[in-house]
Amino acid sequence: MAEGHMADTERADQTPRPAGLSVVSTVTDGIRVLTLAGEIDHHTGDQLSKALDVSDTAQPRIVVDMRQVTFMDSSGINILIAAYQAVTAAGGWLRLAGAASSVLRTLQLVGVDALIDCRPTLREALSP
């Protein structure tokens, strides 16, 4: 009986998990907080780009809460860099908060952490 159960578990582990990205936008003390959950890749990038759009905002202040981001590829890097450039051109700032170690490592490998302020917690990212 246990062997049959193990085979079922192994098969379940091999099924691809649904990929996706949840983006929830809130405002805290005039700062737009984007809480992300899931994966940032070429399938979900448009959703993140739209959430980061500052074309109608003067001096935007944005914190991207990345605590629940499980994966990010080069599409996410490009979106964050483009958002950083748009936000700073509009006289604002962009910060990343709480990136998991695997996501933070990706940011560090390509030097995004030297460009965009990465804070360990959401509270620190919301602080002046």
Give residue limits of the domains in the chain: 20-126
- Closest of 63, 85, 121, 76 to residue 103, by C-alpha: 76
Cα→Cα distances 102→19, 51, 68, 128, Å: 17, 23, 12, 27
| Residues whose CB is less than 8 angstroms from the CB of residue 91 and which lie 6 or more positions away in sequence, other chains included | 58, 59
In angstroms, the CA 89 to CA 98 distance is 25
Look at 14-23, 33-42, 67-76, 96-105 and tell me which has the smallest mean pLDDT: 14-23
Radius of gyration of the chain (CA): 17
Give pLDDT, residue 18.
54
**What is the rounded average pLDDT of the residues 121-125?**
97
Look at 7-11, 17-21, 25-29 and tell me which has the smallest mean pLDDT: 7-11
Pick the CATH number of 20-126 from 3.40.50.740, 3.30.750.24, 3.40.50.261, 3.40.50.1370: 3.30.750.24
**pLDDT one-digit tens code per residue, 65-113:** 999 999 999 999 999 999 999 999 999 999 999 999 999 999 999 999 9
Looking at the predicted structure, is the pLDDT value of residue 17 above 70?
no
Q: Using 50, 70 and 90 to split pLDDT, how confident is the model at 127?
A: very high
